[in-house]
Amino acid sequence: MGQKSATRYRLSVANLADILLNSHDSNVASMMVEAFEGYGSVVHLNMSHIHHSDFSKLPLGTQISHYTIGAVTEAVLSWTIIPIFQVFSNDYWQNLDEFYRTGICDGDTMNLLQLSKNFVKALSDYSTASGGEKPPSVDMRLPITWPTGTYGLYMPKTGCPKDPSGFSTGYFIDDTEDFKNQNNWTTGIHLNGTFNHGEIATYFCMKIKVTPTEYNRTWPSGNYCILKKGDCPAGFRQGVLHMDDEDDNNGNVHVGALPDGFFVDGNSISFCCRQDS
């Protein structure tokens, strides 16, 4: 008989979501505010929009089982899966005369082409003739998560994002120049902190705990920066912002979880940035 081995893989929800969301079809997903496994909002994915042509785009995923059947011989065991109506191809009926002679098939002629057409017709009309209902859309929920890794964000007035693995917080009080200070900021700025001439305090939301889940996705393309904490994610380049602080009796203060940088006499903050929208 030969031997055949097969391996089964499990794809994460994020793997499947990438195929759907990158299709740019407005019907494949909808976002809702909904509590789900500790997350605050989810994307509902219509999995019926994944087609056979998409299978080649899917990654292998995580191996969950492996099996081998048969025995090792010079012959190789293999099979090919075909649609059932193709069973009526002449290739599979080379011994038709023998089937007639032994009584396996009745009569002495079989119109294989017509049988194939009849079979296709029967399959296509069966659900209507039997009163069957159209199956509902297959729905899968993908929580809106922050990508895995270590990084940071400036804290907005509404606080840090909701995420099961959590964001650690910290703040930095920047003692800027007292003489001829030119600090300025826009009205209604949404950053959490205090903004004064001579002193600016900013707060941070730092992702310092890495907790991989099946929902983790990579950072999307675009033109933006995140605060650096450890190595920059793939697709980002490192940059540094340096501020000219108060030279005499500098009163910089830093507390809690902070991005990479220098926060004592002088102030520099490291960023990870990308520009590929």
Name the token pair of 224. 């933006």
Flag whether pLDDT at 236 surpasses 90.
yes
CA gap 11, 19 in Å, rounded = 12
Write the pLDDT tens digit of every residue in 173-205. Answer: 888 877 777 888 888 889 999 988 888 899 999
What pLDDT is stored for residue 193 in this prediction? 92
Instruction: State the DSSP string of 112-174.
Output: HHHHHHHHHHHHHHHHHHTT--PPPPPEEEEE--PPSSSEEEEPBTT-SPP-TT--EEEEEEE
**Which region among 46-60, 102-116, 219-233, 255-269 has the lowest average model confidence (pLDDT)?**
46-60
- How far is C-alpha 257 from the geometric centre of its chain's CA atoms? 27
Residue 160 contacts by C-beta under 8 Å, 6 or more apart in sequence?
153, 167, 169, 205
What pLDDT is stored for residue 52 in this prediction? 63
Residue 75 — very low, low, confident or very high, per pLDDT cuts 50/70/90?
low
Q: Does this model's pTM top 0.75?
A: no
- pLDDT, greater one: 155 or 9: 155
Nearest to 223 by CA among 277, 179, 178, 153: 277
CA gap 201, 263 in Å, rounded = 12
Residue 61 contacts by C-beta under 8 Å, 6 or more apart in sequence?
9, 10, 11, 12, 15
Average pLDDT over residues 154-161: 93
Q: Where are the domains of the chain?
A: 3-129, 146-275
Name the token pair of 120. 């296709």
3-state secondary structure of 90: helix
